[in-house]
Amino acid sequence: MEKNTFIENFVLPSELMNSSTKNVEHISFGGVSLPHDTIYLDFAASTPLDKRIFEKMTPWMLGYFANAANRTHPMGELTEHALAWARTSIAKVFSVSFEEVIFTASATESNNLLIRGLVEDPHRKRNKIVFCATEHSSIITTIHTLVENFDKKLGIEFAELTVNKDGQINIDEAQKIIDNNTLCVCVMDVNNETGIKQIQLEKIRQLTLKFATILHVDSSQGFARSELIAQGVDYDTMTISSSKIYGPKGAAALIIKKRKPRIKLQAQLTGGGNEFNLRSSTPNIAAILGFAHACIFQKQEAKERIQYYKKLENIFCEELSKYINVKYYASENYKVPGVLTLSFKNVNAMKLLEETKTVCASVGSACKTLQATASHVLVAMGIDLENTLSSFRVSFGLTNSENEVREAAQRLAHSALNLRKKSATLS
């Protein structure tokens, strides 16, 4: 198999991310172990740790482990300065100020902090939260939970922005929904399931400015797979995640820009007053420092990474077309490279991935019933239930090789054809 120059930067040995693995120690938990020939195509869900970042993190896990909130001794003071460096570095990457970067443990927590923090602010004067129908569940579920459980106490309501078949927000409808009572509008820049870029983000921004409404952008995928931060559109708050950009898990951030009137959030974790009184907790210095380095590398290497994702995607699609007809759910004009949602006609996606045990891909939901596996993103785009249940996502990463991607395409196509034969035999 050809040399992959990207692999050398990752802590995982190249053999583990290669379809022709040999002599890799097997680890088993609960009777589950990783087959030697496993191919991972789920990088939109999680990425491996860049070895350069791992080396930067190690001293802060083994030697300099003090609590940055304790400044009464030299080690605590040292870790405090390390935390400040990480915050300053990320602020520079996103062209914001030091105080505008709030560290959290995950993108889900960042989204929750923003939405719950806004709604629970005792001085809040607006009641409506608006969100795009294709947002991540950490946005949609949080809003629904607040409305269902606390609507009378908090006096809040929500409105959903529908999308067309290309995943783009219906602006005419948005103009009717966003008004003077709108507290916040949540629109991700790049969809996590389809890789679709939200081209209408600039028009949504103009509406939020018109009504002095907060625009929140979940850029967990956008920062990872686009050269433009938030598609080049101004925003008020934004979520970013370490685990999507080859950094450690357990680190993310909520960027809260300074504006008038000031954005006020009610803290969800209280106690020590960390993160400018918005998130009390002993900071995970090693993970936060790793996150900062991951942000720096991502910005420096974005163009090269995106080109590599595009190359892998083209190889994968070309190889698939040799064996089977494929339906893709996003046009090239509307999506970022390296994330594909696709389906094979009359092939259930859950059964396909069960059949193709050595290719790691994902479906829209992990629910057990077939009805529940329908992706809310594709449903919002008007895709019928049969095609939705046949859809799955593949997402490419820097540790994938070209031959590996070709092999994965062959395995998926052959599994799909086998399932069709079985279905025909049973009928």
Catalytic, 317? Answer no
Residue with the larger pLDDT of the pair 12 and 309: 309
Q: By three-state DSSP, how is residue 32 classified?
A: strand
Which residue in 302, 324, 317 sits closest to 402, CA to CA? 317
Give percent above pLDDT 70 in the chain. 91
Which band of pLDDT confidence, cut at 50, 70 and 90, is reported for residue 373? low
Has residue 369 got a pLDDT over 50?
no
Compute the distance between CA of residue 362 and CA of residue 376 in angstroms, rounded to an integer: 14
pLDDT, residue 20, reads 36
> Is-contact 331 342, C-beta < 8 A?
no
Which band of pLDDT confidence, cut at 50, 70 and 90, is reported for residue 422? confident
Compute the distance between CA of residue 339 and CA of residue 316 in angstroms, rounded to an integer: 11
- Identified catalytic residue from 132, 186, 317, 367: 367
The whole-number average pLDDT for the span 302-315 is 97
pLDDT, residue 333, reads 84
Compute the distance between CA of residue 227 and CA of residue 271 in angstroms, rounded to an integer: 38
What value does the mean pLDDT of the chain take? 91
Has residue 212 got a pLDDT over 50?
yes
Q: Which helix (H) or strand (E) holds 183?
A: strand 182-186
Has residue 269 got a pLDDT over 60?
yes
Give percent above pLDDT 90 in the chain. 81
Has residue 425 got a pLDDT over 70?
no
Has residue 93 got a pLDDT over 90?
yes
Token pair 């929500």 is found at 158
pLDDT digits (tens, 9 = 90+) for 161-207: 999 999 999 999 999 999 999 999 999 999 999 999 999 999 999 99
For CA atoms 138, 141, 146, 147, the dihedral sign is positive
How do strand 39-40 and strand 237-241 relate by DSSP bridges? unpaired
Which residue in 9, 49, 17 sits closest to 244, CA to CA? 49
| Residues contacting residue 125 through CB under 8 Å, at least 6 positions apart | none
pLDDT, residue 146, reads 93
Has residue 108 got a pLDDT over 70?
yes
